[in-house]
Amino acid sequence: MEKLVIEGGIPLQGEVKISGAKNAALPLMAATLLCAGRHILRNVPDLRDTRTLTRLLENLGAVVERKGDCLSIDTTVLRHGEAPYELVKTMRASVLVLGPLLARLGKTRVSLPGGCAIGERPVNFHTDGLRQLGAVCTIKEGYIEAEAEFLRGTTIYFDIPSVTGTENLLMAATLARGTTVLKNAAREPEIGNLVDMLNSMGARIAGRGTDVLTIEGVTALQPADCRIIADRIEAGTYLLAIAATGGSGRVTGCCPADLPSLVEKLRYAGLVIREEGDSLAVSWPGAQTLVGVDIKTAPFPGYPTDLQAQFMALMTLCNGQSAIHETIFENRFMHVAELRRMGAKIKVDGRFAVVSGQGMTGLKGAPVMATDLRASSSLVIAGLAASGRTDISRIYHLERGYENLVEKLTGLGARVWKERE
Ligand code: EPU
């Protein structure tokens, strides 16, 4: 296993180009299963998670080729409609093949994802929604089994806006008979990317960007040629890293409108943020102090749970207190114990954390352990800001979601490298 070593305390400077979004690439790759033919997806990040989904598509019979950041996915022949436990257990987003496989084949078997480091993460919205669309959907021997001669449009209301739940039902409904209305649907930008791809394939979806999506079923779709949007979570992570080191820099190739809450929260903390076309620049004001700011995670356009851990790392370096309320996942404070090892003062009570910021010299390097993807990136930010050396073990978590992390950080002037444990 490899670990990441960081010699901290260097203010990051310069520009970093943002990759395609992991959480858009995964549903768009799954959507290629909806119809036979050769699909082209552009700006696909080369990550552990996109590789896992590639393996799953290949296992189903698809032929996948990568040239640079472009994936060609030929789904003309599907050998079967089963997503095995061996693949789903390594990446729960594999459940995204459920809707498309059912819609195309009329029958599918997808392993039920197991527990997860950040919370229970049930998939009842996915299975209940498919039942409402007329499928017989049961759980047998650890697998979701779904079958339907055809799907029937209906109205489905989400108790909580679910990102992959919305995506799965959206994909399934494109080929249903009649009209489906998804209410209280998630509005994350990645869903807009999926709607654009599906509409370019011949689907009829209205309501893009809103919480009511209306899907008029069609009888056939054609292959897509579509570009993955920039990764707003990667962009936010680099902005926070630059801010936490007292540096100044720019993330490019991103969509500032996809980060409304983070941008405002950084401004409240005292940073200067400038939106310039497809880039966001962050710099420090004259006085080198930041104030603590509260955040509460919420579905888009609220503050993203996927940037909560990284924001907490910045808050350990502020003056004053910051209250952090995690409303999406019940166990998403795994980074707290590791940040404490670096000297952070954080109290946790259930889904609330209170960070007592200790100013820019508050963190000291330490050996720490990555526990999930975003927790790991908060440790990277803390390590970059801390004085001394930080060794982060289990970095395979980071490789799930950050393309060329070491190269990009090095480009910003960080001293960071991988070593064998
Ligand atoms: N929920 C249910 N039942 C369901 C589905 C969800 O109760 O059937 C609950 C969840 O437990 C959670 C809430 O609904 O409390 C929202 O979860 P959601 O379904 O939106 O999460 P997800 O679709 O499984 C995606 C991202 C996550 C991101 C969340 C929230 C992908 C592949 N994953 O997960 O990304 O944290 O939305 O924005 O899009 C990450 O990239 O690190 C990551 C975890």
Reported as a single tens digit per residue, the pLDDT across 393-416 is 999 999 999 999 999 999 999 999
The pLDDT of residue 113 is 87
Please tell me the residue having the least CA distance from ligand 1 atom 35. 306
Q: Where are the alpha helices (DSSP H) in 151-205?
A: 163-174, 189-200
**Do the beta carbons of residue 24 and residue 49 sit within 8 Å?**
no
Q: What does the pLDDT read at residue 379?
A: 98
pTM, to two decimals: 0.98
Residues recognised as catalytic: 116
Low-confidence ranges of the chain (pLDDT < 70): 115, 286-287
Please list, in sequence order, all residues whose beta carbon lies within 8 angstroms of the beta carbon of residue 264, skipping any fewer than 6 positions away.
none
Residue whose CB lies within 8 A of the most ligand 1 atoms, among 125, 162, 258, for a mutation test: 162
> What is the rounded CA–CA span in Å between residue 210 and residue 258?
14
Residue 300 CA: which ligand 1 atom is closest?
38
Q: Tell me if 374 CB under 6 Å of ligand 1.
A: yes
Q: Which of 194, 193, 190 is nearest to 173 (CA)?
A: 194
- Mapped onto helix, strand or coil, the DSSP state of residue 39 is strand
Tokens of 45: 């990040």
Among 232, 240, 272, 287, smallest CA distance to 381 is for 240
The pLDDT tens digits of the residues spanning 19-52 come to 999 999 999 999 999 999 999 999 999 999 999 9
Longest dimension (CA), the chain: 66
SS3 category, 136: strand
What ligand 1 atom has the least distance to the C-alpha of 124?
8
Q: Is the CB of 113 under 6 A from ligand 1?
A: no
How far apart (Å, rounded) are the C-alpha atoms in residues 172 and 34?
Answer: 8
Strand-pair partners of 325: 296, 352
Structure tokens at 112: 């039920």
Inter-axis angle of helices 232-244 and 260-269, nearest 10: 10
Report percent pLDDT > 70 for the chain: 99
User: What is the residue with the minimal CA distance to atom 44 of ligand 1?
Assistant: 306
Of 303, 370, 306, nearest to 337 by C-alpha is 370
Q: Exposed, middle or buried, 33 (CB in 10 Å: 0-12/13-18/19+)?
A: buried
Among protein residues, the one whose CA lies closest to atom 36 of ligand 1: 306
State residue 287's pLDDT score.
Answer: 65
pLDDT score for 181: 98
In sequence order, what E strands does 27-176 have? Answer: 38-42, 63-67, 70-74, 82-83, 107-111, 136-140, 143-147, 155-157
Q: How many CA atoms lie within 13 A of 15 on its CB side?
A: 7
Q: Which atom of ligand 1 is nearest to the CA of 26?
A: 32
Question: How far is ligand 1, taken at its centre, from the CA of residue 372, in Å?
Answer: 14
Which residue is listed with tokens 């209940």?
128
Q: Which residues pair with 15 in a beta bridge?
A: 250
- Output the CA 207–ligand 1 centroid distance in Å: 21
Looking at residue 119, its pLDDT comes to 82
Measured between alpha carbons, how far is 254 from 236 in angstroms, rounded to an integer? Answer: 10
Check if the beta carbon of residue 87 is closer than 8 Å to that of residue 56.
yes
